[in-house]
Amino acid sequence: MTTRLSPAIACSRMYNLSPKISGLWDRLFHWLSSQSGIDIEVILHAAPAPLSELWSRPDMGAVFMCGFPFSRVAAAERPVPLAAPVSLADWAKGQPVYASHIVAARDKLFAEADLATLRWGWTVRDSQSGYNAPREFFAEIANGRSVRETTGPLLNPRGVVEAIRTGAIDVGAIDAYAYQLLELHEPDMIAPLRIVATTRPAPFPLLVAARQQPSERINALQAALLEAHRSPEGHDILSSLGLAGFAKPDIAAYDRLPARAKAIDDLLGGPW
């Protein structure tokens, strides 16, 4: 007698920036289920539910995970990396990397040299794009100066946008791919903002599966993702998400993130 497996979950929580964008991810996951032959249940796991709870679920099939928390899990206990997106944006240069845009109110003018004197916002401390990337950028321009004032956690890009809109902060960082999605589908949300600078690249948040998933499921999901750009329907879905395709994650690049974070702490004298 064959035991029927429960559905694997898929979740794009990190990039569910609006109902419209969430619907595009749902379309990708439904296509992935059809192509791989794996029964997939799409879930929201909406904020403020902790992402750590999502990433510990044994039924993960294709779930976005930030590279920094991924890098801090012991290799033997990590979720299984499936694929990392490759953005169509110029900053990606055809590689599975991303960056953060340092953003400010469109009508608030200042030079890059003034950034060290402004009030900064951050999302959560285990975020590469919303915390480590802006701190690294700040350390490189501050010339040993301390940050004037910081505000956080703002949780996500929407929190950064709102804090700038209300004047609670002067500048903050938004994941450059999240910004790309907003430009494509929700331009009004970022209309009050301007990009002041862009941070150094880092490995893109990756889609992962739980180690408890059967290897046959993992292999089928990974193969479908890596070949998605070759299918006319897959290519159309990827284009709607601003993606060229998916690539195999460079695990060594993720493993370097903790050392980068420590170097930032050393330069700034501790966390924000």
Give the pLDDT confidence score for residue 3 in this predicted structure.
Answer: 59
Quick: pLDDT tens for 46-87: 988 999 999 999 999 999 999 999 999 999 999 999 999 999
Which architecture, in CATH terms, is 8-86+203-258?
A: 3-Layer(aba) Sandwich (3.40)
What tens digit of pLDDT does each residue of 15-54 get?
999 999 999 999 999 999 999 999 999 999 998 899 999 9
Q: Which range among 68-82, 104-118, 158-172, 207-221 shows the weakest confidence by mean pLDDT? A: 104-118
Single-letter amino acid, residue 176: A
Joined tokens for residue 164:
């700038």
Residue 96 has pLDDT above 50, yes or no: yes
Residue 10 gets the label, from left (phi > 0), alpha (psi -120 to 50) or beta, of beta
- Render pLDDT for 126-179 as a digit per residue (tens, 0 to 9): 999 999 999 999 999 888 788 889 999 999 999 999 999 999 999 999 999 999
- How far apart CA 147 and CA 269 sit, in angstroms, is 11
Does residue 203 surpass a pLDDT of 90?
Answer: yes
In this model, does residue 1 exceed pLDDT 70?
A: no
Say which CATH topology domain 97-201 has: D-Maltodextrin-Binding Protein; domain 2 (3.40.190)
Looking at the chain, the whole-number percentage of residues with pLDDT higher than 90 is 91
Taking the CA atoms of 73, 75, 78 and 82 in sequence, report the sign of the dihedral they define: positive
Compute the distance between CA of residue 102 and CA of residue 250 in angstroms, rounded to an integer.
Answer: 25
CA distances from 51 to 79, 104, 131, 264 (A): 14, 27, 15, 24
For CATH 3.40.190.10, list the domain ranges present in the chain.
Answer: 8-86+203-258, 97-201
In sequence order, what DSSP letters do the residues of 7-24 get, joined into one string?
Answer: PEEEE-GGG--SHHHHHH
| Angle at the Cα of 167 from the Cα atoms of 180 and 200, rounded to 5 degrees | 40
Q: Are 153 and 127 in contact (CB under 8 A)?
A: no
214 backbone φψ class: left, alpha, beta (φ>0; ψ -120 to 50): beta
Q: Report phi then psi at 110, rounded to 5.
A: -160, 160
Predicted structure pTM score:
0.95
Q: What is the pLDDT of residues 238-249, one digit of tens each?
A: 999 999 999 999
DSSP 8-class letter at 146:
P
